[in-house]
Structure 1
């Protein structure tokens, strides 16, 4: 993890150089990288990791495609093409996409299918992921720490990861099965469903399984405890420069990632959608009750229409015209005259 000024070719090159050195990635062969089309990253990856499989996140590709082509037919065809497991299925889905929108298909053909469709992923890689949900989850996990000073932020993130490694490792110590518990549940369910099926022998014994042994290797290396700042070793080399001038953006600082129009709002403190957006809804006018517009631009608005002040939630909304106002004023005058007459009789 690194803190840089901006997303650029220089910052990505510097980060990848350190990553290649720390993890001994070599030329990247055998590794998969999924990104969101960040600025300068593609060029840096081609130079420093020429043999890595660099994929683009399908969710971000579709978010950009949906801005100009929001139809459900385009959405369904896109995800069928992205999740296709062989080129023939991908080709069929692209034909469906062209039928729904020829321009959308042409826009998508600008991307190499090797970076976003399962049908063209290299077979020697052991992941078929098309989205980088892991990074999105990590960003939401460290949300509170992102507004701390840099040293405090990195120390807090280190402690969070250290605790997570400990929890994940201890959670599997007492598991007796060599297969992971969640995978075993899926396997047991498939076994029950397969009772009504007849198997065909292919002559081999090849299965794709997630083993406990591999899981434990992931979390066997714990993070070392960090000593306080007074015990930090002085770095050799160039003198540490002061931080660059901070560029303050307009508006209130964003604490959550910008959501697409079709995603909806998220309830505070929870990861579930609380409300959906108005995108795709059919508007109804409260004046004429017709579809396609609201009262602000109603073509059937009566003459002399006066907008009533907003009431509290739950109260009934009332449409007021000049005739209604005249009737109310007349009733008020009659009440005043009646009260005045009663007082005169009382005084006499």
Structure 2
């Protein structure tokens, strides 16, 4: 402003002084508002430093109100052995209700991930999240550690294995990104486990050298293949397109990322670690709070979530969960396009497109497409075979009875019958008499305003629009009336009628013979 006066002496000095005073007053008011907000936040959430000293009392209260809960606190002693303070390092929590619910679920499948804390002290939240009967998230355990490394993952997984009875020879299934700390930790603790790599992270690494949607489509085609021949064919297509890309992808063992090599132990064909991403999004507002407030934010969310799911259960009907019913209805609709031949025993030959016949063994509950084996849900070939068996006088019963029990309403209700109990305020916590006090970990405050938003991946940055939102380019919107893609409700002309014509198989009738030029593989 003073430079403008020098250049233009016609500007009155009094106007400049008034403008400066207004800006100064605005700055003072903002500073007062910031201080008031900081004091209010401290009063509501508690002080960041003081809450570390209350961790033992909090853990004791949590265990008292939720018997069977596991809480482990790890501290570090300073160089002076006579010092009565211990520096916080880690805390692990596995609530009894979630532990019991996961064991009742019977789905040996967990996603593992870490997320940064956003308060003044460093740390990361490690989480283990399962998939429930409705294919929704089911958090099991969480921990706040110093950083995401091999040592912290070893500590977390050892405690998790003890809580869930996962032995070193267990055939459990994990899914995670390829973080350097988690890979050796799982290999060392659970050498017999099936470890899947999140396909999104593989694609992010692949995109550094091989850009374009065609590479993504080929990667997904390889990963989605359910049989070894289909996987080999998809890899050969990638090799013909780009030998370097094929060589890069071949270095990742297919056991970790393609359905053709998955076993059926997890009762899931999931390729993405979306369950952890969803969970981290739910607790993001609790990651910048003091440590006890952060842990309480997570516990209260888990308590509310169980109530929310129970309300959905009360309004649901049928043998299967709502999501499983939706998936199975789609399978039954696809099964109407297949032709079935019976061998007089338990084997059926199911044909769709030319040279795409599949063999179904109803006694073993398997299909050569491996869809039934991997997901636990009869594939379209198996459903067509079941209709053929019913049409020839065999005893089939309800088709839903052939689905794995993990998808049933009874199993879903059992999982959420275990409740997370509330706890008292800190004024009612029992005092823990110990000679040492827990203090926060060391931390050097960084210059500048603390970052709140997470770092976006390279894929997300490319897809962002100028408004900061993800682009909808190359996505197909679904009509809210008929649920089909390619148009919206404003111009809908009843296209849903065409998609519901082939439903005869749902009533138990014999599968239709596929018309020439239609069907699937």
**TM-score normalised by the chain length of structure 1:** 0.70
Tell me what 2:162 maps to: 21
Is residue 238 of structure 2 the alignment partner of residue 97 of structure 1? yes
* Alpha-carbon spacing, 1:228–1:116, altered in 2? closer, same or farther (3 Å): same
Higher relative contact order (CA 8 A, sep 6+): 2
For the Cα contact (< 8 Å) 1:30–1:125, is it kept in 2?
no
Tell me what 1:273 maps to: 470
Cα distance between partner residues in 2 of 1:153 and 1:230: 18
For the Cα contact (< 8 Å) 2:226–2:260, is it kept in 1?
yes
Tell me what 1:49 maps to: 190
Q: Deviations over 1:73-98 (max 9, x none)?
A: 32222111111101111111111112
Q: Residue 208 of structure 2 aligns to a residue in which SS? A: helix
Is residue 170 of structure 2 the alignment partner of residue 61 of structure 1? no
For the Cα contact (< 8 Å) 2:173–2:265, is it kept in 1?
no
Cα distance between partner residues in 1 of 2:291 and 2:466: 29
Cα distance between partner residues in 1 of 2:181 and 2:322: 41
Name which of 190, 208, 211 aligns with 2:408: 211
Q: Residue 213 of structure 1 aligns to a residue in which SS? A: helix
Unaligned runs of 5+ in 1: 277-348
For the Cα contact (< 8 Å) 2:255–2:261, is it kept in 1?
yes
Cα distance between partner residues in 1 of 2:452 and 2:220: 30
Name which of 248, 264, 276 aligns with 1:123: 264
Name which of 281, 288, 291 aligns with 1:147: 288
- Offset, 1:164: 0.5
Cα distance between partner residues in 2 of 1:244 and 1:265: 37
Q: Deviations over 1:142-197 (max 9, x none)?
A: 12111111110110110011111111123213433111123323434554555565
Tell me what 2:215 maps to: 74
**TM-score normalised by the chain length of structure 2:** 0.48
- Offset, 1:274: 4.7
Name which of 259, 280, 297 aligns with 2:457: 259
Tell me what 1:184 maps to: 325
More displaced, 40-49 or 196-205?
Answer: 196-205
- Structural RMSD (CA): 3.0
Aligned residue pairs total 275
Tell me what 1:245 maps to: 442
Cα distance between partner residues in 2 of 1:250 and 1:168: 43
Is residue 240 of structure 2 the alignment partner of residue 134 of structure 1? no
Cα distance between partner residues in 2 of 1:119 and 1:238: 57
The structure that is strand-richer by fraction is 2
| Larger Rg computed on CA atoms | 1
Unaligned runs of 5+ in 2: 1-141, 347-361, 366-401, 474-521
For the Cα contact (< 8 Å) 1:74–1:100, is it kept in 2?
no
- Offset, 1:249: 5.4
Tell me what 2:302 maps to: 161
Tell me what 2:423 maps to: 226
* Alpha-carbon spacing, 1:190–1:52, altered in 2? closer, same or farther (3 Å): closer
